[in-house]
């Protein structure tokens, strides 16, 4: 098990972002799906050790890291982690090489390995020809790819990516999904995304979060299969009792009603079944 949380609760002031969540992750690519505000970023931030849980146990790469007294374990785990936050900060005056190298240094990588590791990470995100360009001269999609390069420079055992495909054009998304699949062969990769098609193309497992709880867990194939059981006419499995659309600010797949491709229908059905079960 690379990452495991039990009874994980995260609050932001009075708002409960995660409500006693139990989850575990093994090597492979895991998609985290859910409407806006579901709690995906709150989960990723705890797994990245950048925020502390209010309650519950967090075990990463064999070490407990959730308690304030676990700082030594956290420091050791961070060297083996990769993390791309939703909004990632960088020094605009740095070149790509300098910035990714700086992150390698923060992760205390062996100095002899840094140069080759930086070049490899930058090449893997398709920016080899811009490695000596200043980050501030790059497009938004390229900056996002620099963010992915800094997350993978240490070949992390646990890689956490919060909305990595935001801002990437369709061709880059296709390339990035291939990279995810490759990374997932040896590492545990957890990807938060709004794009159900990212999950269909790159993830082996899906966790659907809704209002701070786990609404669904299964393989991508299971979710697609669930979508296949939904009647396109609107009365399929998991339909809300009112048969209407759900009042959400998100505007995501669940709000478009039936239709869409099988995985979108699976997402909708799983979400609605969960809402019915919890009486939401």
Ligand X SMILES: Nc1ncnc2c1ncn2[C@@H]1O[C@H](COP(=O)(O)OP(=O)(O)OP(=O)(O)O)[C@@H](O)[C@H]1O
The site for ligand X (CB under 6 A) is made up of 12-13, 15, 17, 34, 36-42
> Least distance from C-beta 155 to ligand X, angstroms?
26
Query: Which of residues 18 and 81 has its CB atom nearest to ligand X in the complex?
Result: 18
Please identify, using beta-carbon distances, which residue of 40 and 97 lies nearer to ligand X: 40
What Rg, from alpha-carbon coordinates, does the chain have? 19
Q: Which is nearer to ligand X, 33 or 109 (CB)?
A: 33
CA distances 75 to 7, 63, 93, 151, 224, Å, are: 23, 11, 28, 16, 39
**Nearer of residues 40 and 124 to ligand X, judged by Cβ:** 40
Judged by beta carbon, residue 36 or residue 276, the one nearer ligand X is 36
Name the minimum Å distance from CB 259 to ligand X.
Answer: 22
DSSP H stretches of helix in the chain: 40-47, 71-78, 96-106, 111-124, 140-152, 170-183, 196-202, 220-228, 262-278
| Strand pairing class (158-162; 81-84) | parallel
Phi and psi angles of residue 19, each rounded to the nearest 5 degrees, phi first: -120, 90
Closest CA to 114 of 104, 126, 99, 103: 104
- Distance of closest approach, residue 88 Cβ to ligand X, in angstroms: 14
In terms of Cβ atoms closer than 10 Å to its own Cβ (0-12, 13-18, 19+), residue 279 is exposed
Q: Output the smallest distance, CB 254 to ligand X, in A.
A: 13
Least gap, CB of 274 to ligand X (angstroms): 15
């Amino acid at each position: 098990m690379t990452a495991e949380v039990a009874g994980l609760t995260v609050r932001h002031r009075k708002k409960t972002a995660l409500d006693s969540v139990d989850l575990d992750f093994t090597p492979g690519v895991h998609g985290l799906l859910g409407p806006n505000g579901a709690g995906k970023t709150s989960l990723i931030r705890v797994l990245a050790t950048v925020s502390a849980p209010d309650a519950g146990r967090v075990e990463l790469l064999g070490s407990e890291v959730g308690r304030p007294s676990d700082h030594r374990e956290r420091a050791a785990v961070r060297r083996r982690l990769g993390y791309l936050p939703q909004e990632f900060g960088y020094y605009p005056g740095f070149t790509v090489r300098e910035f990714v190298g700086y992150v390698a240094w923060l992760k205390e990588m062996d100095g002899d390995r840094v140069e080759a590791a930086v070049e490899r990470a930058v090449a893997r995100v398709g920016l080899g020809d811009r490695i000596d360009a200043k980050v501030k001269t790059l497009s938004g999609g390229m900056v996002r790819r620099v963010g992915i390069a800094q997350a993978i420079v240490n070949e992390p055992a646990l890689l956490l990516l919060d909305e990595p495909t935001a801002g990437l054009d369709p061709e880059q998304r296709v390339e990035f999904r291939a990279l995810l699949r490759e990374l997932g062969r040896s590492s545990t990769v957890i990807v938060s995304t709004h794009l159900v098609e990212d999950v269909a193309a790159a993830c082996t497992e899906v966790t659907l979060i809704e209002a701070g709880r786990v609404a669904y867990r299964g393989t991508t194939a299971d979710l697609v299969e669930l979508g296949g059981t939904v009647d396109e006419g609107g009365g399929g499995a998991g339909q809300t009792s009112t048969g209407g659309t759900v009042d959400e600010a998100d505007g995501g797949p669940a709000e478009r009603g039936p239709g869409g491709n099988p995985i979108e229908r699976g997402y909708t059905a799983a979400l609605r079944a969960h809402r019915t079960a919890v009486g939401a």
